[in-house]
Amino acid sequence: MIDADKWADYLIAAVADRNAVAPIVPVVGELPLDDAYAIQAAVLDRRLTAGDALAGAKLGLTSVAKQQQMGVDEPCYGWVYASSVLSAGDDGVAEVKVSDLIHPRCEPEFVFVMAQDCGGSDVTGDDVLDASASVVGGIEVIDSRFEKFSFTLADVVADNTSAARVVIGSDGVAPRSTDLQAITCEFEVDGVITGSATGAALLGDPAACVAMLARHLAKYDRKLEAGWTVMAGAPTDAQPLTVGTQATARYGGLGAVSIRGV
């Protein structure tokens, strides 16, 4: 069994020092996914002990665009910390302090806000829609703790799927009021459209992705909880976020969300 506490300290130090570290797999030789999730859980424990709270959960690598960008062809699951949730300023743009991060990237996200708990090993996309209050557009800032933003599936799992910051929009819709597979998403960074996709980019159906996450949590006797913010994954690839970068994700029917690197 892996020394999960030791590797949790290793990753937490990388965040604190704003310094990328070597991936874990080449050091330990082999990291079964169960061990990788144990490291992720040890990081969560430490964060909660230090006073953070859980605001939700997330999926990563649910689109072909992201899987190709990162060279990893399977989805992964992680946690959304309360401390990572940013709000928009008076001008409607959320500021992301780049110097707090290592080598951040930003990406659009389809986000589910849960109205009710949703759990079990047989959760379906329909169950997710029933349990959701709304679907909103968002932007996630990811920041791999690993050098060169390069990792295997097990590494990125241990590293809480590179989660760093998230901003969600204010114009959500009731989950059944629209066809989530058809919702369009356009990502614009410094005036350039870097990607466009629809909800179907997320393994065919964003709600089915969230159901996979709920089934994953059931293995650990956990569930999606009422009030949680749940990211289904980025439908386009991620873009570098530096000081001065302005990124906007525009969603058909869900409005727009903007961030600025400061």
Choose among ligand OOG, Mg ion, none what residue 113 binds, the Cβ cut-off being 5 to 8 Å by kind: none
Query: Please, what is the minimum distance in Å from the beta carbon of residue 233 to ligand OOG?
Result: 4
Beta-strand pair 105-114/192-198: unpaired
Cβ proximity to ligand OOG, 23 vs 261, nearer residue: 23
Task: Give the Cα separation of 51 and 58 in Å (integer).
Answer: 20
Q: Which residues contact 161 (CB under 8 A, 6 or more apart)?
A: 58, 59, 60, 61, 76, 77, 78, 142
Task: Give the Cα separation of 2 and 201 in Å (integer).
Answer: 35
Binding residue for ligand OOG (CB under 6 A) from 40, 160, 162, 239? 162
Stretch that binds ligand OOG, among 36-44, 46-54, 80-88, 232-240 (CB under 6 A): 232-240
**Footprint (CB under 6 A) of ligand OOG, residues 25-84:** 60-61, 66, 70
Query: Please, what is the minimum distance in Å from the beta carbon of residue 258 to Mg ion?
Result: 17
Listed residue (156, 149, 158, 236) closest to 201, CA to CA: 236
Strand partners, 209: none
Indicate whether 234 belongs to the interface with ligand OOG (CB under 6 A): yes
**Footprint (CB under 6 A) of ligand OOG, residues 138-157:** 140, 142, 144, 156
Taking the chain, what is the end-to-end CA distance rounded to the nearest angstrom?
42
Indicate whether 161 belongs to the interface with ligand OOG (CB under 6 A): yes
Indicate whether 237 belongs to the interface with ligand OOG (CB under 6 A): no
Helix (H), strand (E) counts: the chain: 7, 13
Cβ proximity to Mg ion, 4 vs 79, nearer residue: 79
Residue numbers of the site for ligand OOG (CB under 6 A)? 60-61, 66, 70, 107, 140, 142, 144, 156, 161-162, 233-234, 238
